[in-house]
Amino acid sequence: MSENSISYKVILLGESSVGKTSIIYRLTQNKFSDITISTINEFFTEKNLIIKGNKISLQIWDTAGEEKYRSIVKNYYKGSIAAILVYD
């Protein structure tokens, strides 16, 4: 395995209750729960992968979908290499 380690920031965007947190939980824990609590502000988690001998670290940011947090959420776009739009 190569000593290369690369980190990427990915952000999930969408309205409240569309499943952003559930997608992240499934990706990082390989579990599903139909009971979740609305995200307040944001949180992030990491998923480490090995691709072609390189260690890839994904910082996956879950943003609050409620209207009152929209102005704050824009601050978390900076440095993202991808945005995933989640909708229902």
Torsion angle of alpha carbons 75, 14, 58, 76, nearest 10°? 0
| Domains identified in the chain and CATH numbers | 5-85 (3.40.50.300)
pTM (two decimals):
0.71
CA distances from residue 2 to 6, 43, 70 in whole angstroms, order as listed:
11, 30, 40
One-letter amino acid identity for 20? K
Q: Are 69 and 40 contacting, i.e. CB atoms less than 8 angstroms apart?
A: yes
Local confidence pLDDT in tens for the 88 residues of the chain: 456 789 999 998 888 888 888 888 888 888 877 766 665 556 778 999 999 889 999 999 887 655 555 565 567 778 899 999 999 8
Q: Which pLDDT score is estimated for 25?
A: 86
Q: Which pLDDT score is estimated for 82?
A: 93
CA distances from residue 48 to 27, 28, 54 in whole angstroms, order as listed:
11, 9, 10
